[in-house]
Amino acid sequence: MPSHNPVFGRGLSNAGAGNGRQSAPWGGAPQYGAPQYGAPQYGAPQYGQGTQDPYAAPSPYAQSPYAPPTTRYMTMDDVVQKTGLSFLVTVLSAAVTWALLPQSLALGLALPAVLVALVLGLVIAFKQIANPVATLSYGAIYGVALGAISEVFNNLYPGIVVQALIGTFGVFAGMLVVYKTGAIRVTPKLTRWIVGALFGVLALIVVNLVASFFIPGGLGLRDGGALSIVFSLVVIGVAAFSLLLDFDMADEAIRRGAPAKFAWYIAFGLLITVIWLYLEILRLLSYFQDE
């Protein structure tokens, strides 16, 4: 079954390949083994001159095609642990940037950090890199930008960062409950709607940015007015529904027997979505502070 997540679908297919598991044609247990099964041979062995003692031979599992697989398959505990560690590294990086670096220096590092994280994220996504170095490096680099941005917003509007963090956690927890209870099921049709909305939002952001070079405020999507509030609510909604795709991808990877290291790839996807959600909630809250 193909992944509902368009970003991770190919990575999930690659992760499942080569792990020695093949789905049975009737959907049953995976088949490990030879092309055919021979009939068992019965009868006591004859020991004579030149006959080897079978009990002195190496274990038959050393050469048997039916030997237990050596690959450890991914579990939900792997996803939780890797995702938690990725978020911890990101938060620590942001906290260090905020607490130890002067604001001017932190702001100077913010844009380079975003650009480096963007390039690294594209490499991870398109090459399906699933290892701790890649995911944790992405979190640490983007944490520098988050720390600088959060410090600026909090200096302008004291307490807004805590509100944004609470809002982000609330949306994440709410969508997880919605997914686990089956209130909203991830279907191919829903996936198409989410992906379409995602590309639509990104296109509007780019067009607004380009228009801002020629028209003050661009299309008015980020100037703090009523249209900006509506647009931010739409973006938050798209980011929230994108979490459903991430949750579904994790469940599907477990069902298909992906290796344990693939949890780092899932953690990377969740990290992207949550960072995007946090920044948009932070922006939305700032609009209300200006009222």
pLDDT single digits (tens) 155-177: 999 999 999 999 999 999 999 99
- Structural domain range at position 143: 76-289
* pLDDT cut 70: percent of the chain above it: 75
Has residue 149 got a pLDDT over 80? Answer: yes
Q: Is 73 helix (H, G, I), strand (E, B) or coil?
A: strand
The predicted pLDDT at position 291 comes to 56
The predicted pLDDT at position 12 comes to 56
Residue 148 within any structural domain of the chain: yes
Residue 36 within any structural domain of the chain: no
**What average pLDDT does the segment 30-58 reach?**
44
The predicted pLDDT at position 45 comes to 45
Number of domains in the chain: 1
Over residues 92-111, the pLDDT tens digits come to 999 999 999 998 898 899 99
Average per-residue pLDDT in the chain?
A: 81
The predicted pLDDT at position 212 comes to 86
Positive or negative: CA dihedral 221, 226, 230, 236: positive
Q: What is the pTM of this model?
A: 0.76
DSSP 215: S
Q: Is 265 helix (H, G, I), strand (E, B) or coil?
A: helix
Residue owning tokens 């973006």: 235
Residue 171 within any structural domain of the chain: yes
Q: Is 276 exposed, middle or buried (0-12, 13-18, 19+ CB in 10 A)?
A: middle
Of residues 145 and 33, the one with the higher pLDDT is 145
Question: How far does Cα 170 stand from its chain's mean position?
Answer: 18
Residue 255 within any structural domain of the chain: yes
Categorize the per-residue pLDDT at 69 as very low, low, confident or very high, splitting at 50, 70 and 90: low
Residue 172 within any structural domain of the chain: yes
Q: How far apart are CA 91 and CA 96, in angstroms?
A: 9
Residue 238: closest CA among 194, 285, 188: 194
Q: Is 259 helix (H, G, I), strand (E, B) or coil?
A: strand
Residue 19 within any structural domain of the chain: no
**What average pLDDT does the segment 208-235 reach?**
89
Residue 95 within any structural domain of the chain: yes
Which backbone phi and psi does 259 adopt, to 5 degrees? -65, 160
Q: Is 24 helix (H, G, I), strand (E, B) or coil?
A: coil
Has residue 131 got a pLDDT over 50? Answer: yes
Categorize the per-residue pLDDT at 254 as very low, low, confident or very high, splitting at 50, 70 and 90: very high
Residue 253 within any structural domain of the chain: yes
Categorize the per-residue pLDDT at 290 as very low, low, confident or very high, splitting at 50, 70 and 90: low
The predicted pLDDT at position 233 comes to 95
Has residue 234 got a pLDDT over 90? Answer: yes
CB 19 within 8 A of CB 69: yes
Of residues 278 and 18, the one with the higher pLDDT is 278
